[in-house]
Amino acid sequence: MNILILGGAGFLGNNLIRLCLKKLNTKIVVVDSLDPRLKSNLYNLKDVLNKIKFIKGDIRNAKLMAKTVKNQDIIFNCAAQTSHPLSLKNPFLDVEINCLGNLTVLEAVKKYNKKARLIYTSSSTLIGKARDESVDEKHSEKPLDIYSANKGIVEKYYYIYGKVHGLTTLSLRFANLYGPYGKGSPDFGFINYFIDLANRNKEITIFGSGRQKRNVMFVEDAAELLYRCALRKDIFNDVYFAVHREHYSIYEIAKTIVKVFNKGILKRIPWPDIRKKIEIDNVIISGAKLFYKINWEPKYNLENGLIKTKLIIDSQTKKN
């Protein structure tokens, strides 16, 4: 089976590559721009580079996309600008990568490989603040930042190309992934940022009370879910929340990280103005629609996922 992973040097893409390499008879091509603004990291792939074909390139490059989508059975599009604050500081960059980039991919698949199964990694943040106690796919979309708005727009692109042009597309909305090979930056996912701080025995600052709740998922579970969904053609041409049913407060997450790593100091601070404006408060999401269809549950709870993350980080540290 031929698999193309766009954005493979990023956090989710990296873990997806490792998952796909464990499957039999897979030939993997990876494309990533390695744009320093997006914090992609080829170093984290050094142990698997000899097992894949890696191409340094951008999803906005129409000629490259035309060439690389050919003869692929499955295309995972993890390529994205994923920073909420950066999307507000540089909205045109976000539009170029997240909107124009995805249109370039869709056009290439439409012209050169309509038989491919194309999976888009979307985000739960496109809903904005939760209107209901439990959120599902029927929830309204009122995003609070440019990144989240564009994620919702791109979902519609995939739906249109599926309905109008006959592509086999699928959008999966992930929420608060964490695990090994993370970016360790406050702009690219708070859990991996907390993990990086704890691992370096630094102060972990929590905005406000930290009581707001979030679904979380270990990234290896997310990678397994992506792969399983790719094999199920009956669920395509739709949108699903891809979330763990477990949810925790921000403070509980930080406290568990400190417990597992046995390092780090928790500190509450007032909300920075820009962060407060884009904060979505409590969001508890149901992934029942997807999990019912594919009969699957995540393997790891928060503590077990953090334990495995620590083992991998410690192993990398010893190798270096």
Q: Does the domain formed by 2-180+216-245+284-299 have CATH 2.30.290.10? A: no
DSSP reduced 3-state for 4: strand
The b/e string for 48-85 (b: 16+ C-beta within 10 A; e otherwise) is beeebebeebbbbbeebbbebbeebebbbbbbbbbbbb
Query: What torsion, rounded to 10 degrees, do the Cα atoms 63, 65, 67, 70 define?
Result: -150
pLDDT digits (tens, 9 = 90+) for 32-78: 999 988 888 888 899 999 999 999 999 999 999 999 999 999 999 99
Alpha helices by DSSP H, listed for 36-168, are 62-69, 84-89, 91-94, 101-112, 146-165
Instruction: State both tokens at 207.
Output: 């905005």
181/184 Cα distance (integer angstroms): 9
pLDDT digits (tens, 9 = 90+) for 120-166: 999 999 999 888 778 999 999 999 999 999 999 999 999 999 999 99
* pLDDT bracket for residue 24 (50, 70, 90): confident
C-beta separation of 14 from 85 below 8 A: no
